[in-house]
Every structure is written in C-alpha cells, then in structure tokens.
Chain A
Amino acid sequence: MFIRDAFPLSFSWSSPLKQKKLLAVASAGGHWVQLLRMRPAFEFLSLHWISTSPGVASQVDHEEFTSVRDANMWDKPGLVLMAIQIAWRVLLYRPDIVVTTGAAPGYFAIVFARLLGAKTIWIDSIANAEEMSLAGKKARRWATHWITQWPELSGDDGPTYIGSVL
C-alpha cells in the first residue's frame, strides 16, 4: 500500500499487471440503458464513461464520467463539437478498449481510439432488428469487433452475434 501511494507512476509502469483501460460510450437514452446492462463485463478494469447528458452520471456515480454535446447525424455543428470533446477525452485517457452501443459519440470514440491502436467494439442497439444502424454502418471500418444483437443479421461478411442485452 505504502509503495503504491508513494510511487504511483513507477508502480503502474513497471507492473505487468497494469489494469487495462476501458472507455464505455453511449448517447443518453436507450443506448445508455443498454450499455449499463453490460457493466459486469467491465469489472476489474479501469473505466471511463462518456454520454451526452450530465444527468446520467448519477447512474455510474462512483466512476469517471465525461458528458459531451448531444448531436445526431443531421446536426453538423453539434457533431463537430462532440467530435472534438471526444477526441480530447480519448487522447487524455488513452483507452486500451472502447465499447459502445452508439450512436454518434460511439462512432467518434471508435474512430479516434482506433487511430491510437485501441481495440474497438461496436455493439449495435437491440432496436436495430432489421438492419445495422446508420452510425453502425459508418463505424464498421473502424471497429475491430462489429456486433449485432440479432442472430438474423449476423453472417460471415456481416456483424457477429454474441447474444443480447435483454
């Protein structure tokens, strides 16, 4: 305990057991509700959350949280601001892994984190039962893992199915 407190940096840099850093991203609403349901998969990792409403921080109150501007694909100025906020957070946090359920903030997080070499996991919302979401399609080329919650949509040249959040 003493050594760790006194030499936090050297401890973590020299330790092979350094905790992996996971960035969990979703816009507020249904995407966020689904992301929260994945929480047990994140245990033991260093976690940082991003969403589009400061209010939802109360649902992950003991963990790090960043609120970004809300915007959709039809609000270009809003998207630019959101992209800058997310790029900044990704640069500061340097995640090893990104997990997102969408939509726009998840797309940006996956792009920037992928450029820095992170593992990027896109899990399309369970709301998209007939085709992948628009943001999901755009995220495909940046995602190391591209996942659907509907077995019907999965396939060799399509997304992977690993179950659903339900």
Chain B
Amino acid sequence: MIFVTVGTQLAFDRMVGAVDRWVNAKDTQIIAQVGPTEVRFSNIKYKSFLEQEQLDHIMKNTELVVAHAGMGSILSSLSLGKPIIIMPRKASLGEHRNEHQMATAKRFQNRPGVYVAWDEQQLVVLLNRWSISRFDNVDEISNTASTEFIANLKQLIGNTQ
C-alpha cells in the first residue's frame, strides 16, 4: 500500500495526478489525502481530508509515503520508520506561498529513507524503482525532539526541578 498526502492545507494536483496516472495497470493499492481540489482522480482511493484516527491507521499500515515536502509528513513518516518520497511544491506554479519546500527537500535529500522527486517524471522513476524492489525501511526517529533541544527548552520555560 502507498499513502499519498498533500498535507493539511492546499491541494497538490500535479503530484497526485502523477501517481494516479502511474498506478494505472499496477496492482498497488493507493490511498490519498488530496486536499481541497475539483480534480477527479480515476485510479486511486482518495479523500480531501482524512480524520486523525484514519490517518494514524493508514500511516501505521502503509509501506511507502508519497508526500509534498512538508515537515508534518516527513516527521510522521520517519517516526514510524516508513520510507517517504517527497515532491516539493513550487511557488512559481502557485502551489505554495514561497519556495520553502524546495529548501526542505534540499536539506532532506541525503537523509536515509527520504527520496526527493524534483518533478513528476522523477516521481514516476522513483515509484517504478519502489515497485521493483521495495525501499529499505528507515531507522525510526523517536517521537520526541532531541534531548539537547528538550533540555534547552525546559531551561527557557523555567521548568527545571
């Protein structure tokens, strides 16, 4: 199973559409959260938004996550040890308000378990690679920030005993 998500705010038809065209003739099950869009997809199961409980369930069971380059998607995948393909939104195409997802993708491109698709063609290449030989599972990151960060934040808050 592959879970495709555009995050919680904006649609990302360019990415979902690419997966929808790719899956045609493949027997992989795809579930997608596609955001607010008028576009209809023909080969995948999708909803604008999933409930948190559904989301948790799907994330636990999916083999691969395909997502916009949003931190929520990346952190959620890595903390469950799931490999993730990220495709950055482009502000130049009206897909976000600025280019911060390009920066995020650059920062994460060498991290094990994170695969960057800079455009639809690369997304299809990565999906084909995955369907031939599944990506390795990722070293799970913990559910919490680093101990250094937590200690520093506690200090700032004044929560030290």
Contact = CB atoms under 8 A, between A and B. Distances in A.
Interface stretch (B17-25, B115-123, B148-156): B148-156
A166 B104 CA distance: 13
A129 B153 contact: no
A127 B161 contact: no
A134 B91 CA distance: 15
Given A30-B75, A58-B52, A129-B103, A166 B146 contact: yes
Given A22-B157, A55-B51, A97-B158, A165 B8 contact: no
Interface stretch (B38-46, B127-135, B137-145): B137-145
B70 interface: yes
A127 B105 CA distance: 10
A37 interface: yes
Interface string A84-122: 000000000000010100000000000000000001010
B158 A29 contact: no
A130 B75 contact: no
A165 B145 contact: yes
B90 to A, nearest CB: 15
Contacts, number: 112
B113 to A, nearest CB: 13
Contacts of A43: 159
The size bracket of the interface on B is 35 or more
Contacts of B72: 29-34
A101 B51 CA distance: 22
A163 B158 contact: no
A146 B147 CA distance: 20
A129 B104 contact: yes
A30 B152 contact: no
B143 A41 contact: no
Contact of B141 (A58, A99, A128, A166): A166
Nearest to A161: B152
A40 B150 contact: yes
A45 B141 contact: no
A62 interface: no
A162 interface: yes
Contacts of B161: 44
A159 to B, nearest CB: 13
B52 A44 contact: no
A163 B52 contact: no
A28 interface: yes
Contacts of B149: 38, 162-165
A79 interface: no
Interface of B: 7-9, 51-53, 70-73, 75-76, 97, 100-101, 103-104, 106-107, 141, 143-146, 148-150, 152-154, 156-159, 161
Interface of A: 20, 22, 28-34, 36-45, 53, 55-56, 58-59, 72, 97, 99, 119, 121, 123, 125-130, 134, 145, 162-166
Given A130-B100, A162-B152, A165-B146, 10 more contacts: A28-B8, A30-B70, A32-B72, A38-B144, A38-B149, A45-B159, A126-B71, A129-B104, A163-B148, A166-B145
